[in-house]
Structure 1
Amino acid sequence: MPQMAPMSWLLLFLFFSIMLIMINILNYYLFTPKIAYKSAEETISVKTNNWKW
């Protein structure tokens, strides 16, 4: 079996690196997170535990 030329390895590396970068950029800009905003009426209740030893 013939060996691959070093230029082919370089082209494969560049191709997959560019594809990885493009997929990451697309995922970053196409992902829309669901942000839940709390209304002003909701209060934060703090539960305190007083331990009696």
Structure 2
Amino acid sequence: MPQMAPIAWLSLFIIFSTIFTLFSMMNYYSVMPQTPKSFVSQKHLTSPFNWKW
């Protein structure tokens, strides 16, 4: 089995690194976070316990 030349390893590394970077960017930007419409309309849930230590 012949050995691969160093330039072939370098080109494989560059190709796989580019694919990994593009895949990561696509996954990161594909999800749109849901922002709350307004903070006033949300009811803040508070604990019924009032601890006074």
TM-score above 0.5 = yes
TM-score normalised by the chain length of structure 1: 0.66
TM-score normalised by the chain length of structure 2: 0.66
Structure 1 stretches of 5 or more lacking a match?
none
CA distance in 2, matches of 1:12, 1:22: 15
- 1:10-43 per-residue CA deviation (whole Å, 9 max, x = no partner) reads 000000000000001111111224x374873634
CA-atom RMSD, angstroms?
2.4
Q: Which residue of the partner structure matches residue 44 of structure 1?
A: 45
Identity percentage of aligned residues: 35
Give how far 1:44 is off.
Answer: 1.5
TM superposition outliers: structure 1 runs of 4+ over 6 Å: none
Structure 2 stretches of 5 or more lacking a match?
none
